Each structure stands twice: as structure tokens, then as C-alpha cells.
Amino acid sequence: MTKRHVSLPIGAEEGLRTFIEEVDERLAGSEDTCDVVEDVLIDLYGDRDAYERWQSGESISPATRVRLQGYDPCNSTLESEYYAEKDETTFQHSKHLQWLWRQFDATPMADNIEFALRFRRMLARHLFADVGEDVRIFKGVTFSYGHNITIGDNTVIHDDVHLDDRGKLTIGDRVSISDDAHVYSHDHDVIDQTDVINYHTIIENDARITYDSMVRAGVRVGENSILAAKSIAQRDIPDHHIAAGTPANSIRIKPGWEDVAKPVGEMIDNRDERVIPSTVPDDVTVFDEFGRTRTPPTE
């Protein structure tokens, strides 16, 4: 869709640019990331006075104390924190930045598009494995870690998308991922649900993942291809193809690309080629959250 240029008033533009640059410099500097995140959130939520009263020893309500403690990411846990195979050192840095991302999205400022897109783009440069130019990430986008995500130039990710990077996720240039889509990089064994397999999931340049669709772990979405709304990609989508359905099948080639595309046919499952070996560190105590009996009945 063709867009028009929109600009903020000079005063508002100066304020948001100064704020983003300051946070960017602090995250890139020698300060403890946890402290920076806490400090930024206290001010974003307008709680500086209450925080200073608490730090000076004044009496505050239990609810106020929980709220103020919650600005510190070290006082929080995230779902991915419980993943047994994660790299603990890398995760701790990512966790603090992800906490800032999520809590920013809960503020009224997250609906100010000009401000929010630039703030998230700045955070992405500190959090993701790599991020290109002019990436636009809208409100409510979630991810497992963040540090296993690579995104190319001019890619847009719309509201409430989930990017699972428990394995590895590579998104190319000029990709569009529509609202409520889910892209996964891990899967579970059909018998033992606690047996997790991580994959490298790839979305190639110029691909479109449309509304409320899902890309399963290890799938390659081909260059210039489309996954139709409410479809589930369980196998690789060839370059320039349109895939639709549950599970998705190739239904046609994009007009004008017939000479360079593979013929419409059965889509191939190449996920095994993209398995990422992972092990649980020896010093980690694990538990089965389901406690199910998984032994099949004998004949």
C-alpha cells in the first residue's frame, strides 16, 4: 500500500528524539542494563516521586511496592526463562531488554506510531542478533528471547505477531508479517511433550505472511511468496508461490513469475535439514510440568 509522509510538531519531535537517543546511549554504555531499564520505566510511568519516597524509607502500600519493584526486570520472570536448554548468560541480557519492550508497549506512548516505531527499532538493535534499516515493528509483538532473531531492511511486522526464536529465526528484506500471525522455531514431540526440537525458520526476501496465519518451526517461506490468511505452513513454500489452507498447499504462482518459479505441486518438507541441536546444561535441575504417563500400551 502506498503511504503518505506524516510528521510530528517540532517540539514533540525534539522531545522524542532526545529521549530515544539518551536511552540508546545508556544501553550501549557501561551501565548495568537492569538499572537502565528500571530507570527508564520509572520515568515512562511517571512514578519517580513514589520511587524516591520508597527509596528514602517512607512507608508505602504493598501494592505500590510491588508496582515499583516491577520496573526492575531482575524482579520479574518471563515464560522463556523456564526453558531448560537456554543459554543463561545471553538470556539475562535479552530478558532485561525484552522487559523494557513489553512494558513500553503497555504505556499510552506505544500508540504514538511515530514515537513507538522508532523506539522499538532502537531497542531491536540492542536485542536482536541483527536488524536492518527502516524496520517497522508495531504494538504487541512478542518473542521468546529476541537474541536469535535476524531481520533485514524495510521489513514490517504488524500488531500482535508472535516471533518464536527458541531456535533461530531469519526474516529477510521487505517482508510483511500481518496482524496476529505466529512464526515458530521450536516444536514438541507428539509422544513426549517435554521433548523440544529447535529449528532454523526462514522467511525470505519480499515474502508476505498474511493475517492470522502460522509458520511452523523449520519451514522456509520462499522469496516473493505469500502465505494466505488463516493458513498454516507445515512445509516449505516455493519462491513466488501463493500457499493457502490448513495445512497450506501451493495453489498458484504469482502472476508474471511463472517463468522463474517451480511448477505448482506438492510442497516439500525440508524441516529436518534445519534442526538445531540443543542440550540441557548439566548443572540445570529440570522438571516435567505435566507429569504424564507416556508409555504406549503393549500389544
Catalytic annotation, residues: 188
C-alpha closest to that of 178 among 159, 162, 202: 159
CB atoms within 10 A of CB 10: 8
Euclidean distance between CA atoms 221 and 130, whole angstroms? 19
Euclidean distance between CA atoms 292 and 299, whole angstroms? 20
Q: Max alpha carbon distance in the chain (Å)?
A: 76
Residues comprising the chain, all counted:
299
Euclidean distance between CA atoms 92 and 78, whole angstroms? 11
Looking at residue 138, the DSSP 8-state letter turns out to be -
Distance of CA 57 to the CA centre of its chain: 39
Q: Coil, strand, or helix at residue 203? A: strand
